[in-house]
Amino acid sequence: MALCLLVLTCRSMLLPRTFFDRNVVDVARELIGASLLIDGVGGMIVETEAYARDDPASHSVRGPTQRNAAMFGPFGHAYVYRSYGIHWCLNFVCQSGSAVLIRAIEPMQQVDTMIDRRGLSDRRLLCAGPGRLCQALGVDGALNHAPLDRSPFVIAPASLANAVHEGRRIGISQGVDTPWRFCAIPSRYLSKPLR
Partner DNA sequence: GAGGCGATTGGCT
Partner DNA sequence: GCCAATCGCCTCG
Helix 111-118 and helix 130-137, axial crossing angle in degrees, nearest 10: 110
Q: Which is nearer to DNA, 67 or 150 (CB)?
A: 67
130 and 101 Cβ atoms separated by less than 8 Å: yes
47-76 residues near DNA, rule: CB under 7 A: 49, 51, 57-60, 62, 65-68, 71
Facing residues of 88 across strands? Answer: 82
Nearest to 50 by CA among 9, 91, 4, 104: 91
Residue 187 engages DNA in binding (rule: CB under 7 A): no
Listing DSSP states for 64-105 in one string gives --TTTGGGGS-SSBEEEEEETTTEEEEEEE-STT-EEEEEEE
By CB under 7 A, tell whether 23 contacts DNA: no
CB of 133 to DNA, least distance (A): 7
CB 175 within 8 A of CB 56: yes
Closer by beta carbon to DNA, 35 or else 58: 58
User: Which residues inside 140-169 make contact with DNA, applying CB under 7 A?
Assistant: 169
Sites for DNA among residues 167-186 (CB under 7 A)? 169-173
Q: Is residue 12 within the footprint of DNA (CB under 7 A)?
A: no
Give the binding site for DNA (CB under 7 A).
49, 51, 57-60, 62, 65-68, 71, 79, 81-87, 89, 91, 99, 101, 118, 125, 129-133, 169-173, 191
